Amino acid sequence: MKRLFELLLAARLLFPLFDSPLHHLYSDPQRHWDNGALFLHPGIMGSNDPYLYQAWLFALRWIARDDAALIQLWLRRTVRRDAGRLYGALRELLPRPWALAGAIVIALIPESISYYAYFMNETLLMTLLGFCFWLTLRSWRKQSLSAYSMASIAWACAALTRTVALPMALGCLAWLWLAPSQRSQPSRRPQKLLIATLVACALVVPAGLHARRDLHYFAPFGNLYFNSIYHDSGMHDISVDYGALGRFQFGAPSFYGPTYAPFSNWTTDRQASRTSASTPLMAVRTGSASRFAFDCSVGSRYGDSAGRTSNI
């Protein structure tokens, strides 16, 4: 069983060589890739999106210098650590054979690897969640401040990658905080609270200031109003005017075809936006002398200053 798990890890390690995210730069993956390039001088999209994935892509691009081989090496290590850390979490709960069996089942799920073909927040989030659950259970076992610190850092990073991890982070850290100390040790709850607060401040403050550049309010998790606005609008897509920063039109990808295909042909009954589909090109300042042009109409094309385009 160990050999099978090692074989699956090797297959995951090789996956980016056969289906690299560099071959799928359009729509959201293109936006994330650009956010990484513009991390030090974010545009409105960088202010809207969660902070940590942008920082991760910035580090990737800075270290690799856009060398495809180095980028794929970085991504291969990320894919491998996903399943490896989930095995570590299972090992904290189960005997080794059962933990290996669980990790093999997870590694065999196609969706556990297919999304690594794209630059998406989830690629970093899933790897972080593996670390988070492993470090949480490890902290429960060790009952040490250093283990609690590592769990706090991991959960803070996950929450700043996707806000969906925030409730899990609060729940797990509260569980560890309430954990009874060993009889020979005094209560460490004040120290744990101080550690969690310091870790949160160290990451939340720069994240909030990063978003504040264009949103003009402190937003460590990005623009949390956007989904609510889209939901309440009842429209198929919405148009957002950011003034001098541009005007953008957004729509859920699942609305442009049968949402539950191939199981159902159901499509949403939401009506199209009142905004004209021929939205003009808008210029967005990138913090340097160059400027990028975006055609924000849904179903049109994304273009940059060099004239390259890809379908949205």
Q: For every one of its 312 residues, what pLDDT tens digit does the chain have, with 9 covering 90 and above? A: 778 887 887 888 788 788 888 888 988 899 999 999 999 999 898 999 999 999 999 999 999 887 888 888 888 777 777 777 888 889 998 898 899 898 888 888 877 788 888 999 998 998 899 999 999 999 999 988 999 999 999 999 999 999 999 999 999 999 999 887 665 566 788 999 999 999 999 999 999 999 998 888 999 999 888 888 888 888 888 888 888 888 888 888 888 888 888 888 888 888 766 443 323 323 333 233 222 233 333 333 333 333 333 333
Residue 20 to residue 25: CA distance in whole angstroms: 10
Residue 136 to residue 144: CA distance in whole angstroms: 11
pLDDT, position 293: 30
pLDDT, position 232: 85
Residue 54 to residue 224: CA distance in whole angstroms: 17
Question: Taking the CB of residue 90, how many other CB atoms lie within 10 A of it?
Answer: 21
pLDDT, position 304: 34
pLDDT, position 183: 58
pLDDT, position 306: 33
Residue 310 to residue 312: CA distance in whole angstroms: 7
pLDDT, position 86: 84
The full length of the chain comes to 312
> In this structure, are strands 291-295 and 281-285 parallel, antiparallel, or unpaired?
antiparallel
- Asked whether 311 and 36 are in contact (CB, 8 A), the reply is no
pLDDT, position 185: 66
- For the entire predicted model, the pTM comes to 0.80
